Amino acid sequence: MKKNLKTFLKHTAKDYENKSVNPPVVRASTIIYRSMQEIRKAQRKQIKNPLGGYFDYGRQGSSTSFELQKILRNIEECYDVFLTPTGFGSVFLAIFSVVRPGDEIIVSDPVYSPTRFLTQDFLKEFNIKTIFYNPHDLNTIKKNISKKTKLIFVESPGSNSFDFQDLSKILSIAKKYKIYTAIDNTWATPYFFKPIKLGFDMSIVSATKYYSGHSDVMGGTLAVNKKVFKKVERANKVTGYRIGADDAYLIIRGLRTLDIRLDKHEENAKKVAGFLSRNKNVKLLYPYKKDSFNFRMWKKYYSGASGLMGLKIKAKNKNSVIKFVNSLKLFGYGYSWGGFESLALHQDVKELGDRKFLNLKKDEHLVRLHIGLEDPKDLIEDLKRSLRFIK
């Protein structure tokens, strides 16, 4: 019987052997066997079927992390999913798997700032060149392709500026020149968009965010197609990436309600966006305005929108924008997002890195909001009371 994803998430990974609706937490550094023959048999099975969950050492995982991988393979509709201790670990694993000294990579300009540091600065020390493209002018990809180009790295929507891109066109360019592709899909998760199904080679999600949903876990996932599986598998062994059994369990628990939470995040965010869109000093960075390019690109590829949005606030006084953020009572202040709670953060442009296509004027300021699961009427009232400080 084929199950809808909502049903699948509620019924997967049951443990009938232990009579539990959730899998056990198996913590193991040593994977113990009854004999050497049994070890060799497991190792042969692992070679023959690398997706079968056969381990001979704890660094490869345990039955708990394997259950998480099985769930994510189904959600992502991919060949396999690798687990890392942080979301950024999955970014590194994706790049490290296919790029070597002498190669060039083309990266979306509005990329997550640590990803920007990794590609622009750190990789330079290994003779790997990074070129950033304009997300709204894909000719900036074409004109920078050379024989050395190995990877196109996309983040959609863009970090903090929330630029949506024509993803099929990017894939068409990559396919023509036989270039690997990777995308950071943390904002949407495969619940709203499945990159591997569209044609990407690798898809990254920070499990710290919506997969967990409770702001108490660090983790990352890298979904891959069959073409790059061996490369990523080899790199994963070399780096020694492994997620702990407790974190894997908590992510599984979070995934049970992923659909319910994301649907509610979207519902609340749309109501808040409706309110904010009426403020003349606020430009909403969220797929809300139907005649915009961003909305058309979002509608083309995504089945829904999460709770994370940006505000481009017009104000002569920067301190008044900070006062607006500080006066919010129902929004916490801190990095990360994707939990049940609402968050607000004033973004210093310097923190975003050396962006070339941000187009932010002197009297424009960025604020990021994560719309949580509270009553949206309360959130709107909180924002309404605080917006009066902007001057």
What are the structural domains of the chain?
5-255 (3.40.640.10), 258-387 (3.90.1150.10)
CB-CB contact of 119 with 192 (8 Å): no
Tens of pLDDT, residue by residue over 49-93, are 888 888 888 888 899 999 999 999 999 999 999 999 999 999 999
Tens-place pLDDT, residues 183-232: 999 999 999 999 999 999 999 999 999 999 999 999 999 999 999 999 99
Identify the pLDDT of residue 254: 97
Contact 85, 61 (CB under 8 A): no
pLDDT band at 391 (very low <50, low <70, confident <90, very high): confident
> What does pTM read for this prediction?
0.94
94, 225 Cβ separation under 8 angstroms: no
Three-state DSSP state, 310 = strand
Determine contact, residues 310/364, Cβ cutoff 8 Å: no
Confidence band for 2, pLDDT divided at 50, 70 and 90? low
**Residue 70, CA distances (Å) to 9, 83, 129, 220 in order:** 11, 11, 36, 15
pLDDT-above-90 percentage for the chain: 82
In this structure, of 177-181, 214-218, 346-350, the range with the lowest mean pLDDT score is 346-350
Report the pLDDT averaged over residues 260-273.
98
How far apart are alpha carbons 75 and 16 in whole angstroms?
A: 22
pLDDT at 353: 84
pLDDT tens digits along 272-316: 999 999 999 999 999 988 889 999 999 999 999 999 999 999 999
pLDDT digits (tens, 9 = 90+) for 35-52: 999 999 999 998 998 888
DSSP 8-state symbol, 180: E
Report how far apart the first and last C-alpha atoms of the chain are (Å, whole number): 59
- Among 152-156, 264-268, 346-350, 365-369, the least confident range: 346-350
pLDDT band at 352 (very low <50, low <70, confident <90, very high): confident
Which candidate, 320, 332, 71, places its Cα nearest to that of 205? 71
Res 1 pLDDT > 70: no
305, HSE (Cβ side, Cα atoms, 13 Å):
28
Query: How does the average pLDDT of the chain come out, rounded?
Result: 94
Question: Nearest 5°: phi and psi at 205?
Answer: -135, 130
Rounded to the nearest angstrom, the gap between the alpha carbon of residue 371 and the centroid of all alpha carbons in its chain is 17
The pLDDT value recorded for residue 291 is 81
Whether the pLDDT of residue 143 is over 80: the answer is yes
